[in-house]
Amino acid sequence: MISENLPSAMTRRRFAGLTALTAAAATGLTRIGPAAATPYTTALVVGTGYGAAVTALRLGEAGVPTTMIEMGQQWNIPGPDGKVFCSTLNPDRRSMWFHRRTEAPLDTFLWLDVVNRDLGTPYAGVLDRIDYPNMDVYVGRGVGGGSLVNGGMAPTPQRAYFEKVLPNVDADAMYGRYFPLARRMLGVNTIDPRYLERSPVYQYARVSRKLAHQAGFRTAVVPNVYDFAYLEQEERNAVPRSALAGEVIYGNNHGKKSLDKTYLADALGTGNVTIRTLTRVTTIHRQGAGYLVGLEQIDATGTVLRRSELACRYLFLGAGSVGTTELLLRARETGTLPDLPDAIGTGWGGNGNVMTARANQLWDPTGALQSTIPTLAIDNWDDPVHPAFAEIAPLPVGLETWASLYLAITVNPERGRFTYNHSTDRADLHWSAGQSAPSIRSAKALFDRINRAAGTTYRYDLFAGNRAFAADFCYHPLGGCLLGEATDPYGRVAPNLYVTDGSLIPGSLGVNPFVTITALAERNIARVLATDVKGS
């Protein structure tokens, strides 16, 4: 595991952290760290996704005793098939977070109900879909958050658009320091152009690129955190297959530098950071200069094992756009933190996500064996009316489909809003079907032009209701606790209470978001450590 996924110059600290993660998994412990229960921790970080992982590492490096609380599992123990994660082709209970059926974004194939599977008893799987009226939000669950289930695409946003979205963030510091730091820490790499041109596993990408160029569009190579050198070895059968074995949204067993291999391993390696898994933060109260959080620990079948409380001086929320917003709304509306800003819950967007597919001509096959790791995008971002950045996605079903699939990121000025629902104790997202219309219009403008130039059509067999476009789900939830509105310019929402994840970004970024979430978290924690955090 170690040699395959890490740069050769692995630090002693990362090695120590990886060893801690592995040892904890082997013994089945849910708590990675000293054995005694901790009633108090100097810093408490909720979640283990991008913002949380950055924050924990920097706190740990500064010598601050830090506890991370993660509601999902640590994904390190092989199942009966010898693998930690299941594939998209053969999903089992490991796939979904307490769902009775898989909920892949495609509903059917050739109108047949062959994509999704019944799962039996609900289980603490790795991918969750949180369903709201008109919008389903996909998120990762486990040590590493979204990094466990995402496609690894790691672009940096266009500076001009970033400056529009976050005008109060110093772009010079972001582009000069924090974006390069994030890319280096995350292990971002780019496919070898010769491999991209010759490999049958990227035939699907080349076909879409050719048709995009014919229609007058530009394409771009998108960097990734999947190790492309490993992928090349997969194709030669020199190593176990992952991207070539249909693994991605339910986890990759190999090749991907998810956060447990990078930031989190480094954080644990500082010796100051521990992680408690299968534990959900439920409530937040103020206590003295710090906070008291309510915890609920479950086993992997969902049985509640224990409810407890943990006090801290500094509380960092990295539970993701939905998770962090829900925690703060609950605290404000149930009166445990009544003075939180009114702006909490506002400014939500799905990064203009819309999925569509085209049917190609018979002379344009897309390949039976496809890499699950996307590497090209159609870049129509400079279109003044219908800007879109459309990732060329695989359809790795193991047989020739002549289909091209895309996940487009569009500019959608609509914003949703969360409110707290007292009867369910959850946040409700208010998003109307009409609010997705601008995304569909932008994607349609792009793909209508490709279809016209190629003499092709959309696929209507993949999304329920014979739709060509699906904009009722997103992979990129953003907003809910906007930087500079619900928080101060560095994520402070109240004294010693900070937001550190995708909820800071106002609904749209123009590209896949995790590099930006990481870089912004680096920027914010650098300031908070310099000015707020005092020893242990």
Q: Which residues are catalytic?
A: 391, 476
In the numeric block, which tokens belong to residue 253? 């067993």
Q: Annotate 492-521 with b (16+ C-beta within 10 A) or e (fewer).
A: bbbebbbbbbbbbbbbbbbbbbbbbbbbbb
In the numeric block, which tokens belong to residue 40? 């108090």
Least distance to ligand FAE, CB of residue 34, Å = 20
Burial of 363 (0-12, 13-18, 19+ CB in 10 A): exposed
Least distance to ligand FAE, CB of residue 26, Å = 21
Distances (CA, A) of 286 to 315, 495, 508: 10, 10, 32
Least distance to ligand FAE, CB of residue 143, Å = 7
- CA 115 from centre of chain: 22
**Chain positions contacting ligand FAE, by CB under 6 A:** 46-52, 69-72, 138-141, 145-146, 149-153, 249, 280-281, 318-321, 323, 327, 475-476, 501-502, 512-514, 517
- Please check whether residue 75 is in contact with residue 251, taking contact to mean a CB–CB distance below 8 angstroms: yes
In the numeric block, which tokens belong to residue 109? 């194939």
Q: Which residues share a beta bridge with 335?
A: none
Least distance to ligand FAE, CB of residue 67, Å = 11
Q: H-helix or E-strand containing 14?
A: helix 12-27
Least distance to ligand FAE, CB of residue 239, Å = 22
CB nearer to ligand FAE: give 151 or 396.
151
Q: How many CA atoms are closer than 13 Å to the CA of 256, on its beta-carbon side?
A: 28
Least distance to ligand FAE, CB of residue 151, Å = 3
Among the residues of 420-513, which ranges form H helices? 437-454
CB nearer to ligand FAE: give 311 or 445.
311
Distance, in Å, from the CA atom of 160 to the CA atom of 492, rounded to the nearest integer, reads 26
- Please check whether residue 348 is in contact with residue 478, taking contact to mean a CB–CB distance below 8 angstroms: yes
Distance, in Å, from the CA atom of 148 to the CA atom of 141, rounded to the nearest integer, reads 8
CB nearer to ligand FAE: give 15 or 296.
296
Instruction: Report the sign of the C-alpha dihedral through residues 333, 335, 337, 340, in that order.
Output: positive
CB nearer to ligand FAE: give 96 or 440.
96
CB nearer to ligand FAE: give 323 or 367.
323
CB nearer to ligand FAE: give 441 or 492.
492
